[in-house]
């Protein structure tokens, strides 16, 4: 018996998203998404890389499912590309697009791997962006329609559907910080997009409920970061509180309480009466499963220069860093406890993403010795166990990601996979961390 054993039915899985792995960007009738447009615009993505080929999962999904079997995964979380199913975002359904996900789900089930379907992982149809995208309320209704179409295909076999992956990132990083598609730098657009994304969750929740052939759990996946003040000063503590409201409460409050903290910000106050219509908040607050994506924490100090929050991120000395973030394992425990204590959610919780970018490479003998990832996973999974012990209803843990893949604006630089991909040949190699994770799954726990 491992010293840290998980509950008997704990779900161990790995996650991916359509644009990051599928490739085949213009095949079988797929329409253009905002990530095609963004990555094809020079200067937007590192080295001007794009997801045209990615890891060619569209053609190699059977090989990838074979790898999942080798890893012993119980579940696989992936996203459907809206543009494969409705190339123009609304209107005519593309049967070939639906067929791909049909084959994928059948193959997973054949290998006894539970499919966890996510409907939106940032690849909005360009045709909808041309009408304002998420800043236009109509997009929320179009999303509910798309949700109904996917439900029609999958609900005889799929038990869990997530509406969105990290709506905060899609809204704020895409519309306010400008680092992701569609690449706007406007706080007003960011707040509007966030509200419409959340509203679309509620509308899709109802559409899925009404059309599912069998019982299905409907979830959403959020990026949550515990926020800490850089010092004990009042200014820094207030800066941390504002950041927490903007980063965490802006999504948790609507989904779990039916309220919103956006009025605490000047632009939010200005917008809220025209943006939030009667009944919106009640629709948003419908959820069976909350997915938590955890990577790092935020340590904030007061800085008047930054719009909205007047706070800037600091990077404390003395801790280990990955290529992208500070490594802070207790943060995953703290955020799970915080959700549980502050919100007392009636829904289940799952860790739907956790992982680290490591500059992995093939060794002389063809192995990938990614000890750093193993250490990261060991320390984070131990903290998830601690949260379970302390009564948080965490039902599963999904590693990000199955394979190395296209890391958005950072291109192919950061490698997050349990499986190494040679981007020239697209050959896959299970990393040492993959073997290690397989062992955790087999034993349903680990030795701390």
Catalytic positions are: 166, 353
Residue 18 or residue 67: which is nearer to ligand FCB going by CB? 18
Q: Does 222 bind ligand FCB (CB under 6 A)?
A: no
CA distance 14 to 74: 9
Q: How far is the CB of 108 from ligand FCB (least distance, A)?
A: 20
Q: Does 250 bind ligand FCB (CB under 6 A)?
A: no
Contact 30, 24 (CB under 8 A): yes
Quickly list DSSP for 175-239: HTS-SSTT----HHHHHHHHHHHHHHHHHHHHHHHHH-SS--EEEEEEE---EEESSSSHHHHHH
Q: Does 416 bind ligand FCB (CB under 6 A)?
A: yes
Residue 101 or residue 416: which is nearer to ligand FCB going by CB? 416
How many chain residues touch ligand FCB (CB under 6 A)? 12
CA distance 101 to 80: 7
Q: How many other CB atoms sit within 10 Å of the CB of residue 427?
A: 11
Residue 81 in tokens: 């590309």
Range in contact with ligand FCB (rule: CB under 6 A) among 60-68, 162-170, 207-215, 425-433: 162-170
214 by Cβ neighbours in 10 Å (0-12 / 13-18 / 19+) ranks as exposed
Residue 224 or residue 394: which is nearer to ligand FCB going by CB? 224
Helix axes 57-71, 95-110, angle to 10 degrees: 20
Indicate which single residue of 165, 225, 248, 433 sits in contact with ligand FCB (rule: CB under 6 A).
Answer: 165
Residue 139 or residue 223: which is nearer to ligand FCB going by CB? 223
CA distance 237 to 243: 10
Q: Does 38 bind ligand FCB (CB under 6 A)?
A: no
Q: How far is the CB of 293 from ligand FCB (least distance, A)?
A: 6
Contact 409, 179 (CB under 8 A): yes
Residue 211 in tokens: 């059309």
CA distance 438 to 68: 9
Q: Which residues pair with 222 in a beta bridge?
A: 292
Residue 117 or residue 276: which is nearer to ligand FCB going by CB? 117
Residue 42 in tokens: 């020079």
Q: How far is the CB of 77 from ligand FCB (least distance, A)?
A: 10
Q: How far is the CB of 20 from ligand FCB (least distance, A)?
A: 6
Residue 149 or residue 224: which is nearer to ligand FCB going by CB? 224
First to last CA, the chain: 12
Q: How far is the CB of 122 from ligand FCB (least distance, A)?
A: 7
Q: How many other CB atoms sit within 10 Å of the CB of residue 342?
A: 14
Specify the residue for token string 């994928």: 104
Indicate which single residue of 154, 169, 284, 287 sits in contact with ligand FCB (rule: CB under 6 A).
Answer: 169
Q: How far is the CB of 16 from ligand FCB (least distance, A)?
A: 8
Range in contact with ligand FCB (rule: CB under 6 A) among 56-64, 153-161, 164-172, 300-308: 164-172
Site string for ligand FCB, 287-326 (x = CB under 6 A): ------x---------------------------------
Residue 129 or residue 223: which is nearer to ligand FCB going by CB? 223
Q: Does 22 bind ligand FCB (CB under 6 A)?
A: no
Residue 15 or residue 191: which is nearer to ligand FCB going by CB? 15
Indicate which single residue of 49, 114, 123, 166 sits in contact with ligand FCB (rule: CB under 6 A).
Answer: 166
Under DSSP, the state recorded for 410 is G
CA distance 430 to 91: 41
Q: Does 225 bind ligand FCB (CB under 6 A)?
A: no
> Could you give the C-alpha distances from 62 to 12, 56, 59, 110, in angstroms and in order?
20, 11, 8, 11
Range in contact with ligand FCB (rule: CB under 6 A) among 165-173, 207-215, 302-310, 433-441: 165-173
Indicate which single residue of 13, 17, 144, 201 sits in contact with ligand FCB (rule: CB under 6 A).
Answer: 17
Specify the residue for token string 């959340």: 198
Per CB under 6 A, which of residues 351..410 are in contact with ligand FCB?
353, 400, 407-408
SS3 for 64?
Answer: helix
**Among 176, 159, 190, 345, which residue's Cα sits nearest to residue 255?**
345
Residue 127 or residue 224: which is nearer to ligand FCB going by CB? 224
Q: How many other CB atoms sit within 10 Å of the CB of residue 306?
A: 15
Per CB under 6 A, which of residues 44..103 are in contact with ligand FCB?
none
Q: Does 223 bind ligand FCB (CB under 6 A)?
A: yes
CA distance 304 to 312: 9
The residue ranges that bind ligand FCB (CB under 6 A) are 17, 20, 165-166, 169, 223, 293, 353, 400, 407-408, 416
């Amino acid at each position: 018996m491992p010293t840290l054993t998980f509950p008997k039915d704990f779900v161990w899985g790995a996650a991916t998203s359509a644009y990051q792995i599928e490739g085949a960007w213009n095949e079988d009738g797929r329409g253009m998404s905002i990530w095609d447009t963004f990555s094809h615009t020079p200067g937007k993505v590192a080295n001007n890389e794009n997801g045209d080929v990615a890891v060619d999962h569209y053609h190699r999904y059977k090989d990838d499912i074979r790898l999942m079997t080798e890893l012993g995964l119980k579940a696989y979380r992936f996203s459907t590309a809206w543009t494969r199913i409705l190339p123009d975002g609304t209107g005519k359904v593309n049967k070939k697009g639906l067929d791909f996900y049909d084959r994928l789900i059948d193959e997973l089930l054949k290998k006894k791997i539970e499919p966890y379907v996510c409907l939106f992982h940032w690849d909005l149809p360009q045709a909808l962006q041309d009408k304002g995208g998420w800043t236009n309320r109509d997009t929320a209704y179009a999303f509910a329609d798309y949700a109904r179409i996917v439900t029609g295909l999958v609900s005889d076999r799929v038990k869990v559907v997530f509406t969105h992956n990290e709506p905060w990132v899609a809204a704020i990083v895409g519309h306010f910080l400008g680092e992701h598609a569609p690449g706007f730098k406007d706080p007003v657009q960011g707040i509007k997009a966030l509200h419409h994304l959340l509203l679309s969750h509620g509308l899709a929740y109802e559409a899925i409920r009404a059309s599912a052939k069998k019982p299905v759990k409907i979830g959403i996946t959020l990026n949550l970061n515990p926020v800490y003040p850089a010092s004990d000063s009042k200014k820094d503590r207030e800066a941390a509180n504002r950041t927490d409201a903007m980063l965490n409460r802006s999504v948790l409050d609507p989904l779990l309480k039916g309220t919103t903290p956006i009025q605490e910000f000047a632009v939010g106050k200005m917008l809220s009466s025209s943006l939030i219509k009667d009944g919106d908040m009640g629709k948003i607050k419908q959820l069976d499963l909350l997915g938590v994506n955890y990577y790092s924490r935020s340590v904030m100090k007061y800085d008047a220069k930054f719009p909205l929050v007047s706070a800037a991120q600091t990077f404390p000395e003395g801790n280990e860093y990955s290529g992208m973030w500070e490594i802070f394992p207790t943060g995953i425990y703290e955020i799970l406890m915080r959700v549980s204590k502050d919100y007392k959610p009636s829904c289940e919780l799952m860790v739907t993403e956790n992982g680290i970018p490591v500059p992995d490479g093939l060794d002389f003998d063809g192995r990938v010795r990614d000890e750093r990832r193993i250490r990261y996973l060991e320390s984070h999974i131990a903290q998830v166990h601690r949260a379970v012990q302390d009564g948080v209803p965490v039902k599963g843990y999904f590693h990000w990601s199955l394979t190395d893949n296209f890391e958005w604006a950072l291109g192919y630089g950061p490698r997050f996979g349990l499986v190494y991909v040679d981007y020239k040949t697209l050959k896959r190699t299970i990393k040492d961390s993959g073997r290690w994770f397989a062992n955790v799954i087999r034993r349903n726990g680990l030795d701390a």
